[in-house]
Amino acid sequence: MESKINRLVPKPPAEDGAFNATASVGELVKNIGGTKESNQMMTRRMLLMLEGACIYNEVLFNDIRRQILNRYISPKITNHQLALFFLNDVIRYYRTMCVDFEYKTVEQQKPWGIRNLKLMYSRKLLYFGGVLAVAESAQRGYEAKMKWITDLLQLTPLERVRGLFGTQANECLGFYEKFLERISDVEFRKSLAKVTIERDTHTAEFRALKDEAQHFGWALQRLLESRYVSGHPIHRALIF
């Protein structure tokens, strides 16, 4: 197993990160939101659900996802109810990443520039993809909710956005593709190591990409509003 992982993912996980250890299914479905749940356990569960990909034993992988989703969605849920337990954990995870950004860059002195851009692009897309999975399951019975969310989680966040919005997604995906292109550039990534919260360290390239991140967020919001009418329960659920 380790050899398979190393072949597909050559870069090892951070020594103090969430993926420098394994977790059992029991650990992933217990203490959700409780005082015994660690930040790392929440990270493992949410990334498995929102962007996990199988590299070995797909049947087991899908079964684990199903077990976790069963924990989030009760068979007693009604058609008009959203999968709020799952949605609230998606929101909690995204907001935790936002808060942890401050902790990691200020108190742990980790690189600021690359983390700032990832928060505004890839982390935001991950969150948006989770919101879409829940929104699409509205006004469906328990089994249909489970199937819709399960099927959507089989897709990457990018595939979810493209599949649901088609050419409408061109604008926001254009911003995202540019972000991926820039952070894949070795020299640009090196320059980000010198970028801190101090504005006099911001290069023109960094500033331009950060400014476009605002437009990326607005484009995602427009997609949400275009697909789900104002009375759709997802809007209220994201606020209250």
Per-residue pLDDT tens for 140-186? 999 999 999 999 999 999 999 999 999 999 999 999 999 999 999 99
For 7, counting Cβ atoms within 10 Å of its Cβ (0-12 exposed, 13-18 middle, 19+ buried), the class is exposed
pLDDT at 15: 56
Show the tokens assigned to 110.
Answer: 């980790």
Segment 85-89 shows an average pLDDT of 97
Give Cα 141 distance to the centre of its chain.
25
pLDDT at 9: 62
Per-residue pLDDT tens for 28-56? 888 898 888 999 999 999 999 999 988 88
> Mean pLDDT lowest for which of 22-36, 55-69, 214-228?
22-36
Q: How far apart are CA 40 and CA 49, in angstroms?
A: 14
Supply angle C-alpha 151, 85, 134, rounded to 5: 35
Listed as own residue / partner, the contacts of 55-63 with beta carbons closer than 8 Å and 24 or more positions apart are 55/4, 55/5, 55/8, 56/1, 56/4
Q: What is the mean pLDDT of the chain?
A: 91
Q: What is the pTM of this model?
A: 0.91
Per-residue pLDDT tens for 189-210? 999 999 999 999 999 999 999 9
